Structure formats: structure tokens, C-alpha cells
Structure 1
Amino acid sequence: MSITGGDVVDLGRGLYAWLPPKRGWGLANCGLLVSTRGALWIDTPYDAVLAGQFLAESTKRLPDGVSIDRVIVTHANGDHFWGAGVLPDVEIIATREAREHIHYEPTPKQQHALVATGDPATALGAYLGRHFGPFDWSQTEPVQPTTYFTGELELTLGEYPVQLSALPSAHTTGDLMVHLPAQRAVFSGDIIFSSTPARPGDHPVHWAGPLSNVIAACERVLATGAEIIVPGHGPVLDRAGVRDHIVYLEYVRERAHALHAAGIPALEAARRVIAEGRYPELGLPERLVVTIGSEFRQLDGSELPGVLQVMTDVAVVAQEVEQTRESEGPAEKRSGPAEK
């Protein structure tokens, strides 16, 4: 069963945001910038099916004789990166630091095999099947950036400046943000996961940290003066929405630091923060296992475990959360965050 659909939002002056049809793992926002002299993508969907849909919507908005010849990758997670394969021979731009994260993740075919052969009787197998089963990477070859940069990189697309800023370790070790001054817009990548009352989102997941760097990156987004902020996941935000997200990040950081100081192990700390239920509108609370684990590693200098170990812990905690909801009864379950 594949995921289909997606909304295209016209942000003005040749800029569009493609928003996936629902929330969940792997469903990232993407951007299209069009001029009479060329076009580019900001991030790509996760698999060839979704990338093909984004390409079809993009093609409808291209002037005659214009093609997409650049892809800017805000970070190297596959859900922002692997769909670039539907655009052969394009320039793919990423930070030099993104190479480290590329090596951390499995290849597309490895991930496809892992999901397809997972044992649904185990917490990990059931979780991967539920959340990643709809994607198809069986024929997806690894994608590699063609242009790396450090610091700042300024491009032009026709009359539009495109300003890329590499960020210190935050969501991953190779994040960047894209500032489009003419459109008063920023594509933040996954330093921001957004939510609004009309379109609730999911808990962020941060693989590197520290959270102080994620918060500082959000402040850099605001410092551009942009009025339109397209996060890595979730609805398009205004400046107030970014400030609200900073409040969330500060809460998670404060709780992680307090629990670390109390000698609570990272996994148990994540369980405790989830149990507090501070943000019940957000889905996938088990992702706090990743974010709090990353913050603990920043505090104590421990090594990053393999992605399978991390995801096993996530799956076990997700199972615990679901069992708790079931034990609470129908009324409480209805008031909790919807799984989509």
C-alpha cells in the first residue's frame, strides 16, 4: 500500500511548498522554486512513488523550456534525500558535514529489506511495518550529493537569491537552512517540526543535538526576518509558530537535563517525559526516545548506538504507550493524539 496525494501551496514569487497528505515518519515537506531561467527543489520525498508525484506537480508549474536542475538537501535523512533519483544528472547540494550522516543510515535497499523481512511478532518488526511499510525502496539506488559546502553558499535562480547556511550539529550533523529573501521565506529542514490546532503534527526527532543548537538554529531562522517558515514536517508557520516551537524545545531540554542530573537513564527519562503528557496533540511520542537519548549523549559523551538499537527502543516504548492508552479506556483514548 503506497502513500499518494499531497498539497501544493503557492507561497508567491515562484515559490511552492509540497506538503504530504498526512503526518508520520518519512513524510517530509519539499519546496519548488521556479524562474524563467531554471528551477530547483528544496528536499525530496522519501521514495520514487512520492517523488514522482512531486515531480508531476512541479512540472505543471514550469515555464516552457525550463527544467529542474538543482536539488538542495537540508540534511541527509532519506525522507528528504532519496527521492532525488527521479531527477537524473541534477546537481545535489548538501553540507560537507552531511556525509557523516549518510554513512550512519542504511542504504535504501537495505532499509527496504529490513522492513520487508521484519518479524511482525516483535516490537521492532511490527513498528517498522506499520510506519515504513507503505514506502518502496526496492529499486532505489543510493543518492550522493555532487556539491558540498561549508559555512554559507549563495546561489541565484533567475532574479531570485537563494542563501544556504550550514548549521552546527542539531537535528543531524549536517543540517542547513534555505533563506529566500525575495519571498521572505525560509525552509528550515528538520530543525523545526511544526504543529497547529488545525493541523496537528508529531513530536520532533533529533539524532544529533544538542537541543541548545536546535534552539539556536530556530533563532537563526527568525533572525532572517522571514515571515513564511516551511518546516521539515508539519504545516507552514509564521514567526509566532516558530517561537511556540522554541518553547517546546526548551521544555524537552529542561526535562532531559533535570532527569540526567538525577541519574535517570536516558530510556527511562524518555518514558517519564512521555508520561507527563505536556503536548497531547502531538503524535509519535515515542520519538522522544531518540531526542532525549541524543541530549544525554551530549551531556555524558557516550557513543551513538546503531540505528537498529535506537529504533528497537522506540518501538518498545511505542508499544508501551499504546498499551497504556488501551488500559485507560475509550474516553481517554479519544482525547489522545491520533495516529495517522
Structure 2
Amino acid sequence: MTSHARLRTITDDLHIWSPQPSTGWGMANCGLLSPRRGRTAAWIDSPYDRARALEFLELGRPLLAEGARIDRVIVTHGNGDHLWGAEVVPEAEVIATRETLGHIDHEPDPEQLHALVHGIDPDTVLGWYLRRSFGRFDWSGTEVRRPGTVFTGELELQVGDIPVHLIALPPAHTAGDLLVHLPQQGTVFTGDVVFAHTADQPGDHPVHWAGPLAGVVSACERALATGASTFVPGHGPILDREGVQGHIGYLEYVRERAHRLHTAGVPALEAACRVIAERRHPGMSLPERLVVTIATEYRHLEGGGGLPDMLATVSQVAQVAWELEHPGLPTPRAAEQPSADRP
């Protein structure tokens, strides 16, 4: 099933693929750089599965110069919803930060995730949540295009006559995030250091795996420091500078609450539930993802690092989501859990 996405034109040579609906796990924005001359073009990130990636490819074909093809895919980070669709352009150079390689190895691969989502008992809490969140995607047969060009620091590229400035970031959403700055277009692709929402367009609560939140705030500030006026988040509506500042305010609120609750001795899961109950951002979907973000902040406060056991964490997320949506109802029976290291 495709997403009925649309292409939004930012400039004559820059277009944004926005999946519809624009909210929900895995519904990420992607960019198309299509110089007017030459036989080169590039994607900035790729959709989550093959069907959506082929849709993006077909929508973009009329915008390419004669004889041009997608010969580069710039990946803002290693989550599958920004990388796995690159399989539909198998000859393209895939570019990412060096740290992205480690994140790819930590995540379940497409075969494992497909088996989990479509094989788990849907009458359990985890099965209910995974089917609802990821059941729309089909990763059967997906082959991951590992980045063939990796870098640290900064990297200057040229896509036809379009200069592209890549900026590797310290750990934030993941350990391998980067910004894509297009100075001629006045635009920055932020990847998932920004999950956007506006008064007119809904968005989702962020989910941050690496952290700390101070690092996510710094990444947002680095995006603003480019001087750009347009910011394409990993998920949600396109923002102006004021919108990014508003998102920083959200991050600082969550950080302050996490620190205060940690000081008070409140466990991470309970802290997340308390912050959710405050409903400071009622227009944002997926509040249960605060379970991940606040647990990440707690790990840093307690001197830990690394990445969490993803399946165990998502099981907690699913439980909180069930309780939010089914108050007072009993929890469905527990599933026999797959391996917690790599589902």
C-alpha cells in the first residue's frame, strides 16, 4: 500500500516528498535535488519500504533533467525509515556519517523487523502496537544499502550546480546524525533532530535513542547557525526559524522535567508517564514515545551511554500506549517475547 504522498516544491531544483498521513512511526520526509542541467540528481533520505520508495522515484522522474538519474542518496541517520528505500536506486552512492554504520548494526534488519511485526500475536499489547504502528510497511525482500561513502566533521559536495554542505553532529537523535545545508536554497534538512508540528499541521512527539537532550538542542542550534530560513524536519511539517526555536522550547521543557524527576528519585518509566499526563503539547501524537526519550536522558544522568535494548523499550512504549488509549481495561495477555537483543 502506498502513502498517497505528494511532492512540495521549495525551489525549482529542490522538492520535498511528504508521506500521507504525515504522522506515525516511519512516515519520514525526503528531499529530491534535481539540477536543471547535467545527468545527476540526489535524494536526501529515502522512504521506509520499497513501495513508498518507488512512489517517490516515479513522482520525481518528471522533475529530472533529460538523461539524469538519482546517483546519490544522502542519509541523515541510520534509522530504516530514512535509509531502507535506497534499495530502489541500487547504483546510487549512499553517503552518511561514519558513526551511522554502528547504528545500522544495532537496529533490527528489515527481515527481522518484518518477521516480528507480521508474525507476533496481534492480541498481545506488543503485537497490537507493532501492527498498528508498522503494519503498513512491507520489508519482505528488502536489502539494506550500507553507506559506501562515510565521513566525520564536514563534507562539501556538488550535485550538478548545487553546492551541498554536510555537517556531522555529536550524538543526538542517534550517534550518527548529520545536517544537510543547501545554501543556495536557504534550506537545511535536519533529519530527526527535529520532529515538527505546528498549530495548523499535526506532528508526533520526538523519540531520541542516543541523546542527551542537550545534544539535540545543540543540533537544532547548529541548524539555525547556518542562517537558513527553511528547515525540513525528519518528520512533520516544514518549519521556519521561529518554528525551530519553538521545537527547542519543547526539548528544553522535556529535559527540565526529566532532570527534576530524576533528582526526586522518580523512576524513568514513571517520570515519562507523569510528563505525558501534564499534556503540555496536546496537539502532538504518540506521547508514549516520551518513554524512550526520558529513559535516554536518565541513562546520561546516571553516567551511562550506549543504546537501549530496543525491543524491551518498545514493549514499555506499547504498554503505555495501551493504557492511554484503553483506560481501565485489562491488559491483553503477554506475548512470548522474541530475543531482546535483535528481534
Normalised to the residue count of structure 1, the TM-score between the two structures is 0.94
Checking the alignment, whether the CA contact within 8 Å between 1:154 and 1:162 is kept in structure 2 is yes
| Aligned pairs for 1:43-82 within 5 A | 43-82=45-84
Q: Which residue of 2 aligns with 1:212?
A: 214
The alignment covers a number of residue pairs equal to 326
Partner Cα separation in structure 2 for residue 127 and residue 107 of structure 1: 19
Q: Which residue of 2 aligns with 1:305?
A: 308
Deviates more, 1:150-159 or 1:41-50: 150-159
CA RMSD of aligned residues (A): 1.3
- Code of the residue aligned with 2:108 in structure 1: it is P
Say whether the 8 Å CA contact 2:180–2:189 is kept in structure 1: yes
After superposition, the Cα gap between the structure-2 partners of 1:84 and 1:64, relative to the gap in structure 1 and judged at 3 Å, is: same
- Give CA deviations for 1:10-30 in whole Å, capped at 9, x if unaligned: 001401111111110000000
Q: How far is 1:202 from its partner?
A: 0.5
Contact between 1:3 and 1:50, CA under 8 Å: does it hold in 2?
A: yes
1:276 positional shift: 0.6
- Per-residue CA distance 1:298-329 (angstroms, 9 max, x = gap): 11134643111010000000001112399xxx
**Equivalent residue in structure 1 for 2:326, among 323, 326, 331:** 323
Q: Distance in 2 between matches of 1:240 and 1:7?
A: 25
Q: What one-letter code is carried by the residue in structure 1 that aligns with 2:269?
A: L
Whether the aligned pair in 2 keeps the contact of 1:155 and 1:163 (CA below 8 Å) is: yes
Partner amino acid, structure 2, of 1:131? S
Tell whether the 8 Å contact from 1:16 to 1:33 is kept in structure 2 after alignment. Answer: yes
Residue 317 (structure 2) pairs with residue 314 (structure 1): yes
| Matched residue type, 1:16 | H
Partner of 1:25: 25
Report if aligned partners of 1:286, 1:317 keep a CA contact under 8 Å in 2.
yes
1:174 aligned to which of 173, 176, 179: 176
Kindly state the Cα deviation for residue 143 of structure 1 after the two structures are TM-superposed: 2.1
CA deviations over 1:130-154 (Å, ceiling 9, x no partner): 1101100011012211100000000
Counterpart for residue 138 of structure 1? 140
Question: For 1:61-103, what per-residue CA distance to the aligned partner results, in whole angstroms no more than 9, with x for missing partners?
Answer: 1111111100000000000000000001210000001111111
Distance of aligned partners of 1:89 and 1:325 in 2 relative to their CA distance in 1, 3 Å threshold: farther
1:8 correspondence with 2:11: no
CA distance in 2 between partners of 1:309 and 1:296 (Å): 16
Q: Percent identity?
A: 58
Distance in 2, Cα, partners of 1:134 & 1:235: 21
Structure 2: 5+ residue runs without aligned partners?
330-343
Instruction: Check 1:273–1:87 CA distance in 2 against 1; reply closer, same or farther (3 A cut).
Output: same
Q: In the alignment, what sits opposite 2:34?
A: 34
1:59/1:308 CA distance change after superposition, 3 Å? same
In structure 1, the gaps of 5 or more residues are 327-340
Aligned to 2:180, the other structure's residue is in SS state strand
Contact 1:84 1:143 in 2 (8 A): yes
Equivalent in 230, 233, 236 of residue 235 of structure 2? 233
Give per-residue Cα distances to partners, 1:260-300, cap 9 Å, x unaligned: 11111111110000011110000000000010011111111
The answer as to whether partners of 1:109 and 1:139 remain within 8 angstroms in 2 is yes
Listed one character per residue, the Cα deviations across residues 10-68 of structure 1 (whole Å, up to 9, x for unaligned) are: 00140111111111000000000011121000000000000000000111211111111
Matched with 2:119 is: 117
Deviation at residue 157 of structure 1 after TM alignment:
1.4
Contact 1:13 1:183 in 2 (8 A): no
> Does structure 1 conserve the Cα–Cα contact (< 8 Å) formed by 2:94 and 2:145?
no
Task: Give, as a single letter, the amino acid of the residue that structure 2 aligns with 1:44.
Answer: S
The match for 2:338 is none
Aligned partner of 1:107 among 103, 106, 109: 109
Cα shift at 1:189: 0.2
How far apart, CA to CA, are the structure 2 residues paired with 1:118 and 1:300? Answer: 34
Partner SS, residue 324 of structure 1: coil
Q: Which of 85, 93, 97 is matched with 2:99 structurally?
A: 97
Distance in 2 separating the partners of 1:57 and 1:297: 42
Deviations 1:161-217 (A, max 9, x none): 100000000000000000000000000000000001211101000001000010011
| CA distance in structure 2 between the partners assigned to 1:98 and 1:180 by the alignment | 21
How far apart in 1 are the matches of 2:90 and 2:213? 36
Please tell me whether the aligned partners of residues 47 and 136 of structure 1 are also in contact (alpha carbons under 8 angstroms). Answer: yes
**Structure 2 residue 194 is the aligned partner of structure 1 residue 192:** yes
Task: Indicate the residue corresponding to 1:336 in structure 2.
Answer: none
Letter in 1 for 2:14: L
Q: Secondary structure at the match of 2:327?
A: helix
